[in-house]
């Protein structure tokens, strides 16, 4: 299938995203002096914006390329939840699967940017696993939505939505309905992601998840990919390696894909873009290697932007024409 044909099919794809919702807050300003109170920069604030983070950013990446999305997760009963839901609705993202949990605070990450440099990030959140009642509500929604979805994407940021019980039930339902399932993993939950179609860890997550302290050479890296495949019994693993691109591991082979990034301003959310675009392409019938190449080009675009960013279909087409022959 030609890559342009795959892109044309994006508008017909329906992806169900399950994961941790985060509100990204950016405070922009300038710093021209050091504080007399402590050796820290004084930032004169010029602007403040809110963006979708975590599973919300994954959804935003799919929407920006023309796909349809339903998001499943939880928020607290607070102002951050109001802003987050407003941003999701603004993007026409289905929020019917987002439930309010009065026992938690909505995750919000605040980044202070001076010029083009991130000075500090501070987080406000509650990290705890779903209650049995919340798990039941979420699984009921997933059960209802899976038949009409092309794929289920698990966006695990380790805040508590992606529990062992939830993953096991999602895997069971996707197998029953013959749907794709992909995972953007969290280190501490690594052993949970068995029997999925594709896992997309970065190299640090892959090493830590498998208890590997150091890679001495290329052969060690290849063995790492093979070990993940064997341990988790998954169809494939796509390990992202920053400036070194990414490598797709399948049962009988592995394929390295060099980076397409020309300039890197900010890697915030790049992993979200990779899993979003990979899943979108797979949903349209693309092969694993075709999907990985498209995701690689998409990531190359977003790291050239400041802040939590997405890629448009036009930008992706242009990137594909430059780097994929």
For 46-86, the pLDDT digits (tens) are 999 999 999 999 999 999 999 999 999 999 999 999 999 99
pLDDT at 1: 65
CATH topology for the 3-323 domain: 3.40.1190
More confident residue, 281 or 311: 281
Which among 207, 153, 208, 206 has a CA at the least distance from the CA of 184?
153
Which residues, 6 or more positions from 132, have their beta carbon under 8 angstroms from its beta carbon? none
Which among 304, 311, 284, 212 has a CA at the least distance from the CA of 3?
284
Taking every pair of Cα atoms in the chain, the longest distance, rounded to a whole number of angstroms, is 63
pLDDT at 155: 96
| Of 33-42, 166-175, 231-240, 251-260, minimum mean pLDDT range | 251-260
Whether residue 150 lies in the annotated active site:
no
pLDDT at 323: 56
Phi then psi dihedrals of residue 184, to 5 deg: -100, 105
Tokens encoding 213:
């302290």
- Which three-class secondary structure state does DSSP give residue 146? helix
Where exactly are the structural domains of the chain? 3-323
**Residue in 24, 184, 197, 272 annotated catalytic:** 272
């Amino acid at each position: 299938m030609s890559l342009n044909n795959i892109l044309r099919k994006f508008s017909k794809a329906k992806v169900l995203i399950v994961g941790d919702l985060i509100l990204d807050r950016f405070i922009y300003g300038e710093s021209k002096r050091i504080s007399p109170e402590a050796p820290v920069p004084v930032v004169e604030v010029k602007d403040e914006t809110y963006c979708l983070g975590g599973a919300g950013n994954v959804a935003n990446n799919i929407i920006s390329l023309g796909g349809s999305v339903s998001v499943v997760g939880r928020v607290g009963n607070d102002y951050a939840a109001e802003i987050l839901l407003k941003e999701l609705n603004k993007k026409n993202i289905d929020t019917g699967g987002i439930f309010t949990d009065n026992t938690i605070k909505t995750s919000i990450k605040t980044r202070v940017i001076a010029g083009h440099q991130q000075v500090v990030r501070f987080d406000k959140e509650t990290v705890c696993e779903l209650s049995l009642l919340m798990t039941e509500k979420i699984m009921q929604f997933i059960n209802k939505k899976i038949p009409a979805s092309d794929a289920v994407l698990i966006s695990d940021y380790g805040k508590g939505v992606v529990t062992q019980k939830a993953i096991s039930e999602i895997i069971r339902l996707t197998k029953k309905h013959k749907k794709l399932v992909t995972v953007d993993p969290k280190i501490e939950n690594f052993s949970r992601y068995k029997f999925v179609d594709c896992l997309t860890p970065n190299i640090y997550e892959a090493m830590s998840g498998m208890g590997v302290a150091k890679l001495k050479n290329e052969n060690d890296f290849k063995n790492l990919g093979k070990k993940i495949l064997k341990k988790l019994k998954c169809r494939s693993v796509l390990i992202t390696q920053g400036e070194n691109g990414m490598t797709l591991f399948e049962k009988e082979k592995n394929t390295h894909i060099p980076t397409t990034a020309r300039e890197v301003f900010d890697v915030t959310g790049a992993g979200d873009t990779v899993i979003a675009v990979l899943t979108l392409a797979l949903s349209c019938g693309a092969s694993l290697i075709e999907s990985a190449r498209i995701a690689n080009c998409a990531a190359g675009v977003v790291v050239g932007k400041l802040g939590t960013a997405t890629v448009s279909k036009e930008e992706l087409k242009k990137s594909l024409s430059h780097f994929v022959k």
